[in-house]
Amino acid sequence: MPAHISSAPGKTILFGEHAVVYGFPAIAIPVNARQAKVKIFPAIRFKPEEIRFSAPQIDIERYYSDFEPNHPFRIAVEGVKSFLKIDQYPACKIQIESTIPISSGLGSSAAISVALVKGLMEFVGYHPSPSEISNLAYQVEIIFHGNPSGIDNTVISFNKPIFFQKEKPLQFIRTKNDFSIVIADSGIKGNTKAAVAGVRERWKADPEKYNDIFKKIGLITTEAKLAIEKGDHEKLGKLMISNQEYLQLIGVSHPVLERMINIALANRAYGAKLCGSGLGGNIIALVEPDRANFISNLLLKSGAKQTILVTLIKGS
């Protein structure tokens, strides 16, 4: 069995985060400029099921048998074994590395889950479909995040722009024009589990207000899908600004994110908003392609820790 390499992209949510947890639609796109990579090497001197995990960026250097029962990596191996009806997974060494920043809303945990599940299946000769990968990666995401909507594992497994709604058929989005997006990192670590739990607490305290906001975010997201399909930059930018206002109202924004958003808007971005669970992490700004570098440099000068330029390409 030769060594096997699998990888998965990062992602960003363009519209509908948080509302998606409550059954409303959201739009997400893959970010291929950042990748999680899993290398699996056969370990001929190891006993069956002796699996050595090495993930230096998250301080993991451990045998599979030493993980607690609900460790995400253990859930990934167990999930693959049960899906493929394997009693014992072959002995191997697994190296995990990623260029996706951790805790910043770019899908680092989901990308690792997807690359790991895909690698584990392919290493034993099975070639899974994107939805098979996504379903297993979702089980791993539950451990990472508690109650995930499933949007991260889905967009990353399919590696295409998606219009996602829980328990509804997945829709892919094709654009009529290129869209340039600057992603900028506030440097403040987000915490998806805590942000989602905070929204749930506030929703429980005032369900009427929150249900109304989620519904409005859902309508914005549906309009955004049409704007993307029509290639309408102006409209899409305005919808981003409205979505951000609702994200502020549900308490997941942050003064540093708002400052970055305002810098982008003051410099003729079509629109800007936080992306992902918020309280830190990244913002996205929709910009003219020839202003992307300018706005990116401006954000870096005013404190952004890093930026990524993404183009949603016409027809994709």
Residues that bind ligand PMV (CB under 6 A): 13, 17-18, 20-21, 105, 107, 148-149, 151-152, 190, 192, 196, 276-277
Q: Which is nearer to ligand PMV, 98 or 149 (CB)?
A: 149
Q: Say how far apart CA 252 and CA 54 lie, in whole Å.
A: 34
CB of residue 262 vs ligand PMV: minimum separation in angstroms?
21
Beta bridge partners of 182: 285, 309
Q: Residue 27 or 299: which CB sits closer to ligand PMV?
A: 27
245: left (phi over 0), alpha (psi -120 to 50) or beta: alpha
Q: Rg of the chain over CA atoms, in angstroms?
A: 20
Residues labelled catalytic? 152
Decide the pairing of beta strands 162-164 and 26-42. Answer: antiparallel
Closest approach, Cβ 109 to ligand PMV, in A, equals 7
CB nearer to ligand PMV: give 5 or 58. 58
Our CB check for ligand PMV shows the closer of 64 and 277 to be 277
Residue nearest to ligand PMV (CB): 276
**Nearer Cβ to ligand PMV (34/233):** 34
Task: Specify whether the CB–CB gap between 34 and 50 falls below 8 A.
Answer: no
* CB 138, min distance to ligand PMV, A: 10
Give least dist CB 20 to ligand PMV, A: 5
Minimum CB separation of residue 297 from ligand PMV in Å reads 25
